[in-house]
Each structure stands twice: as structure tokens, then as C-alpha cells.
Amino acid sequence: MAEGLEISGLSYRYGAKSALDDIELSVPAGRFCALLGPNGAGKSTLFALLTRLFVARNGMIRIAGHDLARQPRAALARIGVVFQQPTLDLDLTVRRNLLYFAALHGLSGRAADLRAAEVLERLNMAERAQEPARNLNGGHRRRMEIARALIHRPAVLLLDEPTVGLDAATRLAITGHVHDLADAGLAVLWATHLTDEVAPGDQLAILHRGRICAQGTARDLTGAGSLQDRFLALTEAAA
């Protein structure tokens, strides 16, 4: 588990309002974990805690074996993040956007160039490297953000509803790319409210009102019916 993500006993409140309650979740290296929750379930709060935008008073987060509270620099160095809102500089080329991020992680010169080319290749984006980001469609912009999140060779990749606003074919392509990254050894945590982005073999955690109300492989949690029915039953019954 040292290379993956471990969360235990994690809780968070906004004043009197509990947003996360005693979260236990482990994503080993090489696994794609879908964090499925309706709006307001607490997904963004969890991501804010994982990226240290907020600091939790209770619970433990370990990233690639590093305790986020005690070794924040080492832990954050091993995490790649794709936020819900795009954060690209549209006036810069794809390559420049990546090199800028590489510099933030201490990579420069030929090493940064090579790494930028490598991650773009991995996302099938190599031929777009010299184009301004503005020229890319929504799907390619997202792929570029995923490539950028890999620039410093993270062990854990977090994606917060990364397919918002994309059409069905593009969503499928992006989920496929990220499953490939998990197969290649990354621990992936993919937050979504869309059940069709979850594959039967994925690890799945269903978050509702700040609690994980079901956890296991998607196949096991779904049972005989559809995941959509199961998800609605779990989240509506408790609503």
C-alpha cells in the first residue's frame, strides 16, 4: 500500500455542518477507484483535504507512504491533480503549459522537454504540442490537463469530476485513458456522479452526505441489477 493512497478516520466540518464523517478509503497502486456521490456528498471537500487546500483536524491521509500532515512536501510531491474547473493558460502552447508546470516541480531544460513529450505521448497528444491550448476542443484540453498532472511522476492521481461538460464519446475516451494509467501502476481516485463512468472491475466507494455508505468492487456492489439503480437506492433511501 506504500505507493497508493490511504485515508483513515477522516472527518471535516464547516462550522456546525459536518461535510465528511469518518472516511476510510484505501486505493492501492494500479487501481482505479471511483468515488461516486451525488451533488453535495462531500467529494470536493475530500479533494480539498487531499491537496491540503484545507487541513483536517481529525484523521490520517497517507500518499505513497507519506503522512500528509507530518510530511506535506513529500506527500504532495507524489500526487497529481486534475481539478473540476479547467486551469490552462489558453494563450500558451500545449508544450509551454506543461513546461510551466514542470518548472513548478523543479524540472527544467532537456529533462523537462523529454518529460513533457513523454506525458503528451501517453495521452495521444504528441502531435498537438506546438498548438495554442485555445485551439483544442474540450476533450483534448482535459487530456492535456491529465498529461500535465503526470509531469512529476506522481504515484496517486486525483480527478474531480473530470468529464463535466464533455460529450459521451469524449467521456468514454477520457475514462479509457485514465483506466490505462491505473493499469500502468498509478493509484487513481476519480470523483464522479455518473455511474456509466464506472467499470465492473473498478474499486468503488459511494459517498452520501459525507459518509461512505458502500465500498467494494463495482461488480460486487452492483449485484444483479444496474449500478444506477443501486446508487439511487443507496443515496435516495438515506436522503
Ligand X SMILES: Nc1ncnc2c1ncn2[C@@H]1O[C@H](COP(=O)(O)OP(=O)(O)OP(=O)(O)O)[C@@H](O)[C@H]1O
Closest of 23, 84, 69 to residue 208, by C-alpha: 23
Selected binder of ligand X within 5, 7, 10, 19 (CB under 6 A): 19
- Residue 239 interacts with ligand X (CB under 6 A): yes or no: no
How far apart are CB 65 and ligand X at their closest, in Å? 26
Number of residues that bind ligand X (CB under 6 A): 11
- Residue 40 interacts with ligand X (CB under 6 A): yes or no: yes
- Residue 78 · residue 71 · CB < 8 Å: no
- Residue 42 interacts with ligand X (CB under 6 A): yes or no: yes
Q: Which H or E run contains 185?
A: none
- Residue 39 interacts with ligand X (CB under 6 A): yes or no: yes
Selected binder of ligand X within 14, 168, 224, 239 (CB under 6 A): 14
Nearest-5° Cα angle at 38, 218 to 84: 95
The residue range among 43-51, 91-99, 106-114, 133-141 that interacts with ligand X, by the rule CB under 6 A, is 43-51
95's CB contacts (< 8 A; 6+ apart) are: 116, 120, 129, 130
> If DSSP codes are grouped into helix, strand and coil, which group holds residue 220?
helix
The residue range among 36-44, 70-78, 85-93, 119-127 that interacts with ligand X, by the rule CB under 6 A, is 36-44
> If DSSP codes are grouped into helix, strand and coil, which group holds residue 231?
helix
- Residue 10 interacts with ligand X (CB under 6 A): yes or no: no
- The site for ligand X (CB under 6 A) is made up of 14, 17, 19, 37, 39-45
